[in-house]
């Protein structure tokens, strides 16, 4: 168990180190999501009433779309540098590679949200700094990286990977997006845990189901 | 069983065509016109069997994807892609017929009802499945990765339905027309027609999947023959 965690952390740390040096993914994800928010503040005539109505949807649609661009990078570097073969040669179980890469993706999307959510609060004039929001954000990011890491490893082998990843990723995460949007709209309307418990349970179920099934299926992607 | 792909004397095709004739007679002549919805209600006699076919397609894709990942036998992959293609066509027709029916009866083309949302998202997942196969170079790797999408779709289905249900509770669907909950007015007639039409469409589904499976097999055989002949030319030249 301790050895497995060390392997996962080693792979995650490698991605993190790369990211700290070139800041590719976080800047791309945060920048894209912020632009979605800005475009919607122009597209919709915002006032106090409809900001609460459309804000949560715009926020999570933006993060989902931006997340796809980040996930696209996750395996692109490994394939371009030929380092995926090196990872596969390592005497470690394949699902640990999955967890390591998923850990990296989780951290990138989470850090991007630390930038995006405060800007969202400012642009839409909504109160979102609550513990509930932290839970929603964490659960959604776990689900995104669980599904996204699996699909990114698949899409990277297709010539049109920029097209393929969103087509695979977005429909599958729709239930998680619904959970994030609905509970965020409870948050901006000032309600608390009990009003969103069903959605949070759904998000937890989604995360657990896809962590288990993705880790299991991932070995079939790297099999050669 | 003959190897010909288009066999007009295929018993499944003959049975399906005959039953389709009976179903058409029952739908347009035998069945009485529903009092609340009028003639529009007859669309349901197509919509429900087609939706059943689409659902059958999803079941077969998930089942054979799991079997492929487990056994690694080509036949399961062929079955998966054949039923995915037929299933997506049935799914598209299901969405279309549903919308044509909903417009006069519910007064909207589309609404956030749980079954509708689920059907639409699943349709997109299986379109992505087919697109992925189209983009990916043929071989064992494509079959494995496509099977993964098939399994993911199956795992996602109950979660999508649960979420769509919860979502529809928070946002009640807009249904204002001469509402459709009076279906029971037709009683047993409705059930009989639906049953005949569903059996007819099921056989059509089986026939189409079977034909697509055979085409797939021929394609694979052709690739194999080409590889063998080019290999023999190479050794002959060397």
Tens of pLDDT along A11-24?
889 888 888 888 88
Report which DSSP code applies to A208: H
Q: Are B64 and B222 in contact (CB under 8 A)?
A: no
Nearest to A217 among B148, B162, B164 (CB): B148
Mean pLDDT for B214-229 is 88
Q: Which of B69, B135, B163 sits opposite A175 (nearest CB)?
A: B163
Q: State mean pLDDT over B3-19.
A: 80
pLDDT at residue B107, as a whole number: 84
- Distance from the B125 Cα atom to the nearest Cα atom in chain A, whole angstroms: 6
Torsional sign, CA B177, B182, B183, B185: negative
Average pLDDT, chain A: 90
Per the prediction, chain B carries an average pLDDT of 85
Contact A202/B127, CB-based, under 8 Å? no
Quick check: A106 pLDDT over 90?
Answer: yes
CA A43-A29-B126 angle, to 5 degrees, is: 80
Q: Point out the residue among B147, B155, B160 whose CB comes nearest to the CB of A213.
A: B155
Q: Is residue B208 predicted with pLDDT exceeding 90?
A: yes
Long-range contacts of A94-99 (CB under 8 A, 24+ apart): A94/A218, A94/A219, A94/A222, A95/A215, A95/A216, A95/A218, A95/A219, A96/A4, A96/A7, A96/A8, A96/A11, A97/A11, A97/A218, A97/A222, A98/A149, A98/A150, A98/A153, A98/A214, A98/A215, A98/A218, A99/A8, A99/A11, A99/A215
B131 vs A: CB within 8 A = yes
What pLDDT shows up at residue B187?
66
User: Is B163 among the domain residues?
Assistant: yes
pTM of the model: 0.88
- Look at residue B35 and tell me if it is in a domain: no
pLDDT attached to residue B177: 58
Question: In whole angstroms, what is the distance from residue B62 CA to residue A101 CA?
Answer: 27
pLDDT in tens, A33-68: 999 999 999 998 888 788 888 999 999 999 999 999
Which among A172, A173, A170, A169 is positioned nearest to A155, based on CA atoms? A169
CB contact under 8 A, B160 and A175: yes
pLDDT of residue A32: 92
Q: What does the pLDDT look like over B108-163, one tens digit per residue?
A: 888 888 888 889 999 999 999 999 999 988 888 889 999 999 999 999 989 998 89
CB-based contact (8 Å) between A178 and chain B? yes
Report how many Cβ contacts below 8 Å link chain A to chain B.
81
| Confidence band of B1 (pLDDT split at 50, 70, 90) | very low
Look at residue B143 and tell me if it is in a domain: yes
Q: How many domains does chain B have?
A: 1
Say if A209 is an interface residue toward chain B (CB within 8 Å): yes
Select, from the ranges B42-46, B80-84, B141-145, B167-171, the one with the highest average predicted confidence (pLDDT): B80-84
pLDDT band, very low/low/confident/very high, at B238 (cuts 50, 70, 90): very low
**Does residue B235 carry a pLDDT above 80?**
no
Q: Per mean pLDDT, which range of A45-49, A58-62, A170-174, B45-49 is the poorest?
A: A45-49
Q: What is the mean pLDDT of residues A165-190?
A: 93
Q: Quick one: DSSP state of residue B29?
A: I
Tens-place pLDDT, residues B58-112: 999 999 999 999 998 889 999 999 999 999 999 999 999 999 988 888 888 888 8
The pLDDT value recorded for residue A48 is 79
Percent of chain B whose predicted confidence (pLDDT) is above 90:
39
Share of chain B above pLDDT 70, in %: 90
pLDDT for A139: 95
Question: What's the confidence (pLDDT) of residue A45?
Answer: 85
- Structural domain containing residue B215: 45-175+185-224
DSSP B112-167: --HHHHHHHHHHHHHHHHHHHHHHSPSSHHHHHHHHHHHHHHHHHHHHHHHHHHHH
Find all residues with CB under 8 Å of B153, minimum gap 6, and list them.
Answer: A172, B58, B61, B62, B122, B125, B126, B129
Selected residue of A158, A181, A214 to mutate for chain B interface (largest B Cβ count, 10 A)? A158
pLDDT at A2: 79
Distance CA A87, CA A123 (A): 43
The pLDDT assigned to B237 comes to 53
Rounded mean pLDDT, A112-137 = 92
Check if B146 contacts A (Cβ < 8 Å): no
| Residue from B70, B152, B164, B165 whose CB has the most chain A CBs within 10 Å, to mutate | B152
């Amino acid at each position: 168990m301790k050895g497995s965690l060390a392997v996962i952390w080693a792979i995650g740390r490698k991605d993190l180190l790369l990211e700290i040096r070139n800041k590719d993914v976080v800047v791309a994800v945060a920048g894209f999501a912020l632009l979605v928010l800005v475009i919607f503040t122009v597209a919709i005539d915002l006032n106090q009433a409809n900001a609460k109505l459309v804000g949560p949807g715009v926020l999570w649609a933006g993060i989902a779309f931006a997340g796809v661009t980040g996930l696209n990078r996750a395996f692109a570097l490994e394939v371009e540098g030929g380092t995926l073969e090196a990872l596969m040669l390592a005497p470690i179980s394949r699902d640990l590679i999955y967890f390591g890469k998923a850990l990296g993706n989780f951290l990138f999307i989470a850090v991007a949200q630390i930038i995006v959510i405060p800007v969202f609060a400012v642009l839409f004039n909504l109160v979102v700094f609550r513990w509930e929001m932290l839970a929603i954000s964490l659960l959604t990011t776990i689900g995104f990286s669980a599904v996204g890491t699996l699909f990114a490893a698949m899409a990277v082998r297709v010539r049109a990977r920029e097209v393929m990843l969103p087509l695979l990723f977005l429909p599958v995460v729709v239930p998680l997006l619904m959970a994030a949007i609905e509970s965020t709209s409870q948050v901006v309307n000032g309600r608390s845990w009990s009003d969103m418990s069903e959605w949070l349970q759904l998000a937890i179920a989604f995360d657990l189901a896809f962590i288990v099934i993705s880790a299991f299926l991932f070995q079939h992607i790297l099999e050669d | 069983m003959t190897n010909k792909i288009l066999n007009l004397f295929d018993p499944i095709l003959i049975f399906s065509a005959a039953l389709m004739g009976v179903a058409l007679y029952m739908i347009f002549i035998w069945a009485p016109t529903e009092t609340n919805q009028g003639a529009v209600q007859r669309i349901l006699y197509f919509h429900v069997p087609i939706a059943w076919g689409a659902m059958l397609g999803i079941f077969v894709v998930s089942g054979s994807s799991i079997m492929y990942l487990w056994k690694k036998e080509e036949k399961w992959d062929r079955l998966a892609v054949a039923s995915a293609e037929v299933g997506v066509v049935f799914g598209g027709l299901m969405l279309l017929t549903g919308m044509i029916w909903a417009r006069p009866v519910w007064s909207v083309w589309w609404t956030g009802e749980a079954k509708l949302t689920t059907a639409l998202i699943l349709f997109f997942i299986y379109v992505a499945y087919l697109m992925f196969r189209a983009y990916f170079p043929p071989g064992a790797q494509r079959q494995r990765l496509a099977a993964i999408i098939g399994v993911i779709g199956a795992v996602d289905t109950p979660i999508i339905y649960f979420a769509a249900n919860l979502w529809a509770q928070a946002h009640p669907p807009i249904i204002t027309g001469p509402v459709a909950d009076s279906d029971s007015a037709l009683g047993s007639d409705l059930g009989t027609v639906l049953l005949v039409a569903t059996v007819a469409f099921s056989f059509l589904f089986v026939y189409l999947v079977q034909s697509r499976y055979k085409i797939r097999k021929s394609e694979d055989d052709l690739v194999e023959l080409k590889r063998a002949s080019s290999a023999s030319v190479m050794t002959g030249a060397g």
